[in-house]
Structure 1
Amino acid sequence: MSKLRYLLPALLAFGTTQGAEGSLEQRVQRLERILASQSLLEMLTRLDQQQRELATLRGTLEEVRHQIGNLKEHQRTLYLDTDRRLVRLEREGITPERLEADAESDVAEPGRPTPDSGELIAEREMYQNTFDILRELRYEPAIAAFEAFLQQYPDGRYAHVARYWIGEANYARGEYNRAIGAYRALVDKHPDSPKVAEALLKIGYSYHKLEQNGKSRSILEKLTKTHPDTTEARQAEALLERLEKPNA
Structure 2
Amino acid sequence: MSETLTDRLPATRRVLSIALLLAGLGAQQAHAGLFDDEEARRKVDDLSIKSNERLDTVAKGQMELANQIQALRDENARLRGQVETLNYELEAAKKRQQDFYVDLDGRLRKIEAPVASGTDAAPAGGSQQAPAESPKKVASDPATETREYEAALNLFRANKLKEAAAAFEAFAKAHPDSTLTPNAYYWLGNAHYALRDCKKGIDAQRMVVSKWPAHAKAADALLNVATCQQELGDSKSARATLEALLAKYPESSAANAARQRLKK
With the shorter chain as reference, the TM-score category is: 0.5 to 0.7
Q: Distance in 1 between matches of 2:108 and 2:187?
A: 15
Q: Distance in 2 between matches of 1:240 and 1:186?
A: 23
Residue 128 (structure 1) shift? 1.2
2:245 to 201, 223, 229: 223
1:136 to 158, 181, 198: 158
Say whether 1:207 aligns with 2:210. Answer: no
Higher helix share: 2
2:190 to 168, 173, 182: 168
Residues 174-216 of structure 1 show CA distances to partners (whole Å, capped at 9, x for unaligned) of 2111110000011111112100000011111111111101111
Match of 2:120 in 1: 114
Residue 117 (structure 1) shift? 8.8
Match of 1:99 in 2: 102
Q: Distance in 2 between matches of 1:92 and 1:221?
A: 28
Match of 2:200 in 1: 178
Q: Distance in 2 between matches of 1:92 and 1:180?
A: 20
Q: Which runs of 5+ in 1 are unaligned?
A: 1-90, 243-248
Match of 1:246 in 2: none
Q: Distance in 2 between matches of 1:226 and 1:111?
A: 24
Q: Distance in 1 between matches of 2:103 and 2:177?
A: 24
> Structure 1 residues 212 and 111, CA, compared in 2 at 3 Å: closer, same or farther?
farther
Give the structure, 1 or 2, with the largest relative contact order (CA under 8 Å, sep 6 or more): 1
Q: Which runs of 5+ in 2 are unaligned?
A: 1-92, 122-137
Q: Distance in 1 between matches of 2:120 and 2:175?
A: 13
How do 1:187-206 residues align onto structure 2 when only pairs under 5 Å count?
A: 187-206=209-228
Contact 2:108/2:216, CA 8 A, preserved across alignment = no
Q: Distance in 2 between matches of 1:171 and 1:181?
A: 11
Q: Distance in 1 between matches of 2:253 and 2:94?
A: 14
Residues 198-236 of structure 1 show CA distances to partners (whole Å, capped at 9, x for unaligned) of 001111111111110111111100111111132211111
Residue 98 (structure 1) shift? 2.0
> Structure 1 residues 147 and 128, CA, compared in 2 at 3 Å: closer, same or farther?
same
- Secondary structure of the residue aligned to 1:154 is coil
Structure 1 counterpart of 2:241, one-letter code? I
Residue 103 (structure 1) shift? 3.5
Residues 116-154 of structure 1 show CA distances to partners (whole Å, capped at 9, x for unaligned) of 997112211211122111111110000001111112101
Match of 2:36 in 1: none
Q: How many residues end up aligned between the 2 structures?
A: 153
Q: Distance in 2 between matches of 1:226 and 1:101?
A: 22
Q: Distance in 1 between matches of 2:150 and 2:206?
A: 23
TM-score, normalised to structure 2, is 0.52
Residue 170 (structure 1) shift? 1.1
Q: Distance in 2 between matches of 1:186 and 1:121?
A: 23
Say whether 1:147 aligns with 2:166. Answer: no
Contact 2:190/2:201, CA 8 A, preserved across alignment = yes
Residue 104 (structure 1) shift? 5.0
